[in-house]
Amino acid sequence: MGKVRLIPYTVEEVVETPTETVPAGVAMIDAPSIWDKSDRGRGVVVAVIDTGCQIDHPDLKDRIIDGRNFTDDYNGKADRYEDNNGHGTHVCGTIAANQNESGIIGVAPEARLLVLKALSQDGSGETDWIVEAIQYAVDWRGPDGEKVQVISMSLGGPDDDDALHLAIQNAVKNDILVVCAAGNEGDGRTDTPEASYPGDYNEVIEVGAVDFNRRLAPFSNSNDNVDVVAPGVNVVSTFIGGRYARLSGTSMATPHVSGALALLANLTSSEFGRKLTEPELYAQLVRRTVGLGYDKAGEGNGLVSLGWVDKIEAIVKLLTPSVPTETGVSAVK
């Protein structure tokens, strides 16, 4: 039986109230620019496999649709998925904290959270717990028939595990996007690869971290499977005790991407008139990235920037000449 742990992270500061409503990370990936077009992620369920969540946190209590405990915490009671570490609550807030005129706003503030506690209070967990949580997310159905569309995992370990890999492959086959942290064993160089699982599996969306100056975080793992990067340094989000905290790590970058996919699931469903498949949604995410000038091993396709496509299309429209129609009304070529 293998072991998986929280990817080491740094608690920079714990505060009673945050200093901002829209966190800098949410703004940096340009989430607010597509909130209206994506209905703020309404109806999309994101499964968060982590240390649980503070279910009565003011910014999260209305976002949780269901949950389950797979650990030995709380005497192994399946219905006790309260966060006793802090990490899971922070991740949940970045994904979907309420827009409620106080606290912070998550990337997809109308998305719903399926809280799957598969890591104990000390941040460790059995691989079997993670596998069970992934399968639970695949099989789960909500009160109105909802299904999980995104699984978010800010965890990892050094060992390639066949059962874990198969569980992830099964989730992807069921059109669930699996988003994983790249890991924090980086040495500040992109030519020396570091691997952490499940992030290093090709089937997942592996997320590296950058700071608010768009510099690659020195701790962020680099390897050929990094897909995108997102804010992961001094990220403010919800924390246990009804508080807020600034944390650093690829664990903090990952939920930015999970929330972004919740927005894109709705936006693209409206644009295409149907629900997109897992590979199609991944392509839509990659379409909304901006290169930062680092090697692909460090930044993958680049920084997630959700408003990028709309901005380019607006510029093209301005630069495209119009031609007269037969009725005398101008039309764009």
Catalytic-residue membership of 50: yes
Distance from the Cα of residue 54 to its chain's centroid: 18
- Other Cβ atoms within 10 Å of 327 Cβ, number: 6
The catalytic residue among 251, 256, 258, 305 is 251
Write the DSSP symbol of residue 145. S
The catalytic residue among 50, 66, 83, 200 is 50
Beta bridge mates, 126: 3
Residue environment code for 78-110, b if the CB has 16+ CB neighbours within 10 A, otherwise e: eebbbbbbbbbbbbbbbbbbbbeeebbbbbbbb
Give this prediction's pTM: 0.92
The whole-angstrom separation of Cα 52 and Cα 165 is 22
pLDDT at residue number 332 = 41
The whole-angstrom separation of Cα 18 and Cα 36 is 24
Q: Which domains does the chain have, with CATH numbers?
A: 3-308 (3.40.50.200)
The catalytic residue among 38, 66, 83, 87 is 87
| 96-143 tens-digit pLDDT | 999 887 899 999 999 999 999 999 999 999 999 999 999 999 999 999
Catalytic-residue membership of 57: no
Q: Round to the nearest angstrom and report the end-to-end CA distance of the chain.
A: 62
Write the DSSP symbol of residue 100. S
Asked if the peptide bond before residue 198 counts as cis, ω within 30 degrees of 0, the response is: yes
Cβ atoms of 193 and 231 closer than 8 Å: no
| 258-306 tens-digit pLDDT | 999 999 999 999 999 999 999 999 999 999 999 999 999 999 999 999 9
pLDDT at residue number 310 = 75
pLDDT-flagged residues of the chain (< 50)? 328-333
